[in-house]
Every structure is written in structure tokens, then in C-alpha cells.
A and B are shown apart, each in its own frame.
Chain A
Amino acid sequence: MKTLEVRVKEFRNKKGLTQEELAERVGVRRETIVFLEQEKYNPSLRLALKIAEELKVPVNKLFSLS
């Protein structure tokens, strides 16, 4: 079974954002970003698109199946 590969941390660091700042911008708690980056949580499509928009990265670069 393919697993979800998350590259949020990489692009967030490139943008110079903290987890707290990204969480605030996309309207979730910091813990959600932590779990997301640790690949322990699959976000909703809405949240995935919001993060992609905030980090200015195509959603398929942030999340992929491997």
C-alpha cells in the first residue's frame, strides 16, 4: 500500500515560517501541523490546498504517494 509523503516542513523552512505561524495562517492548531509534518495525519483536501496556497507551492509537490 502506498503511503503519503509530506514535504510541508521543507517548504515551510524555505519560506521561513514557524509551525505556529503556518498553523495560524491556515486556521489550524500547531499540533495539527506537527502531526502533518511527522506524516501521522492525513489532512483534508481543503487544508492541503490552504497550505499549498500559503506556501506558494503546487499541492502535488507538498503531498505525494510513494
Chain B
Amino acid sequence: MTKKSFSIYRLIAVIIVAIVVSISINYGNWYLSLAAIVASWIFLYALRRNVKEIMADERDYITAGKASLWTMRVYLGISVVVGLILYTVGGDDKGGILFGTATTLLYSDSFLMLVYAVLFKINERKDENS
């Protein structure tokens, strides 16, 4: 199988999963969407094993690393500013929606930084050993 045909199959799988998930949300059936996601994952995994061409190489990994870092920087920068604005606008109303949104946003930022730090350390050690 070529890389191009794999991309087409992947696109079709994504479209089918999106349709199934939207139908399952309407019916309130979460198992259906979960089953569709798992089935498509298995289907794509099986297809990917048949692709003889190189899907990604060292340059792609470096590019992906840079893109991920910048995505995180942009997201953190914006969400911290938005969070602080919401805290300020929300005032002393600790039960309000603005306070809740700001808290969720800032806790998610902290979680993201924590995950990044842990994964950075793990990957750093991997590189040292390889």
C-alpha cells in the first residue's frame, strides 16, 4: 500500500468516526462512539503496517518537536492572560462562571506544564541511553 492511499483511507475513517460520534451523541449512546473509535484505530493500525514507504523520518520528528513546543507556548501564553482577565472581571464571585472558567483554564495550564516536564525528563534519559 502506498502512503497516498493510506492517507485516503485515514480520511475516510475520520469522516465515518465523526458521523458515528455525532449520531451516538444524539442518541446518548457513548458505547457506540467508543466502539467506532477503537474499530477505526485497529483498522488504521492494520493498514499502516502494510505501508512500505517511510511515513516519517528524523526531520519530521524535529519539526514535530518544534511545532509542539510552539503550540504549547502559544496556548499557555493566551490561556494565562485570558484566565487572569476572567479572574479580574469575575471579581469576588467565587461561585460564578468566570471564576470557574479561569480556574479550570489555569489548572489545565499547570497540568500541561507538569506533563511536559515529565515527558521531557523521560525523553532526555532515553536519548542519553540510545
Chain A interfacial positions (CB closer than 8 Å to B): 23-24, 27-29, 31-32, 35, 41, 43-44, 46-47
Chain B: minimal CB distance from A42 (Å):
10
Q: Which of B41-94 contact A (CB under 8 A)?
A: 54, 56-60
Interface size class of B (residues with CB under 8 A): under 10
Residues on the B chain within 8 Å of A44, using CB: 58
A24 CA / B56 CA spacing, docked (Å): 12
| Chain A to chain B: the 3 pairs with minimum beta-carbon distance, closest first | A28-B57, A32-B59, A29-B57
A32 CA / B54 CA spacing, docked (Å): 11
A35 CA / B59 CA spacing, docked (Å): 10
A26 CA / B34 CA spacing, docked (Å): 39
Chain B: minimal CB distance from A1 (Å):
20
9 A-B residue contacts at CB 8 Å?
A24-B54, A27-B54, A28-B54, A28-B57, A28-B59, A29-B56, A31-B59, A32-B58, A32-B59
Instruction: Give the one of B57, B58, B59, B60 with max A CB within 10 A.
Output: B59
